Structure 1
């Protein structure tokens, strides 16, 4: 098993973290052209938003050791991200692994593959995103070839240990902590969500959405030119 060096995480200000924790991922998705993870990965345990730093595992074989060992490195607030390298048959995450994460205080789990023990996972309540479920699981096989902390591909998106991962019942996205203009992006998305509070009131009072968002003015300009 290959252990990549744990990266020195670029500092993210407490203000940005606080903003990210308040936001719906879709509020950022309005502005992003990359980092949107395929909706093949679904919120199997949802109901609340998830945001944290990724810790990655690349697990190409049905060997349980890499996932069990990575828990020794997880910290509160981390999100465990597992690339099963196309294996959508053998589950690599279940009740005991998620309970281990609960004891540490992890923020969630993202598996490009399948998991098991869904009733127990939902009882525990930590967000879990995966492609589906199965009853067959990984085993202690001690097969070489797994990697910890290196880049992985999750739902078509490359994720590195230390990246920001966000998710809710609508889906998942990943952002580099060095994303250009991250502070401005978060502030804009927060402003949008505040504006929507007023829009809800105005829509309920009969105003047209096309007037509120400017679509009507653009449409009329187009048909008169």
Structure 2
């Protein structure tokens, strides 16, 4: 049951780790999470700029953005505002104004299991916004809602303080506890794929890629 809980922030992730994961494809990160961790049904609504940051979570009543407004007063530079809207597509939870506020306050992006509006404006901006759909109908502003609690986004659990990464392929998230090992494995896969592509373009590729192939 939804309440009006407002819990403390989780620690933010080392900026060097955030920068490293932002430079890697979500698909390769996902492969090294056993191809099991990812949000279904979310896509970018901005200009495609990659996103990575520390999860600040919000859980709200379907079609209501009161708690999201409150989160914008608490957001830290580098936070990704991750909103569990229950997948409801009847009303937009944010639009250009709330996205602009988040950008001005240094947030790393918005991830919403719900709908957004002002799509033409969002599409021209480099501030990352990932959601399920677009609709012009606006939200309620009554609550309830919770901040910094575990949430479900497109079937993926996100905890406050998780690392959240997004690009054109969608969204994944994971605990900072596994970040160093995951970074090493993903970099190794990315390097292997770059070599494969170079061989393909040069006409020297002989096949034989491992089970981690795309």
- TM-score bracket, shorter-length normalisation: 0.7 to 0.9
In the aligned structure 2, how far is the partner of 1:19 from the partner of 1:146? 33
- The answer to whether residue 67 in structure 2 is matched with residue 70 in structure 1 is no
2:148 is aligned to 149
Q: CA, structure 1 residues 15+128, in 2 after alignment: closer, same or farther (shift >3 Å)?
A: closer
Whether the 8 Å CA contact 1:51–1:167 is kept in 2: the answer is: yes
Give the C-alpha shift of residue 63 in structure 1: 3.2
Aligned-pair CA distance for 1:206: 1.9
**What corresponds to 1:174 in structure 2?**
173
> CA separation in 2, counterparts of 1:13 and 1:28?
18
Say if 1:97 and 1:206 are closer, same or farther in 2 by CA, change over 3 A.
same
1:101-180 to structure 2, matched below 5 A, reads: 101-140=102-141, 142-143=142-143, 145-179=144-178
Give yes or no for contact 1:46–1:128 (8 Å, CA) kept in 2: no
- For structure 2, which runs of at least 5 residues remain unmatched after alignment? none
RMSD value, Cα: 2.0
Q: Would you say how many aligned residue pairs link Structure 1 and Structure 2?
A: 208
* In 1: Cα distance, 2:210 partner to 2:33 partner: 21
Question: What TM-score results when the alignment is normalised by the length of structure 2?
Answer: 0.88
| Partner SS, residue 73 of structure 2 | coil
TM-score between both structures, scaled by the size of structure 1: 0.84
Choose 1 or 2 for highest CA Rg.
Answer: 1
**Which residue does the alignment assign to 1:35?**
37
1:61/1:169 Cα in 2 relative to 1: closer, same or farther (>3 Å)? closer
CA distance change for structure 1 residues 53 and 25 in 2, over 3 Å: closer, same or farther? same
Query: Counterpart in 2 of 1:220?
Result: none
Unmatched runs of 5 consecutive residues or more in structure 1: 216-225
Shift of 1:12: 4.5
Once residues 57 and 67 of structure 1 are traced to their aligned partners in structure 2, the CA distance between those partners, rounded to angstroms, is 7
How many angstroms does 1:186 deviate by? 0.6
Distance in 2 (CA, whole Å) between partners of 1:167 and 1:209 is 32
SS of 1:5's partner is coil
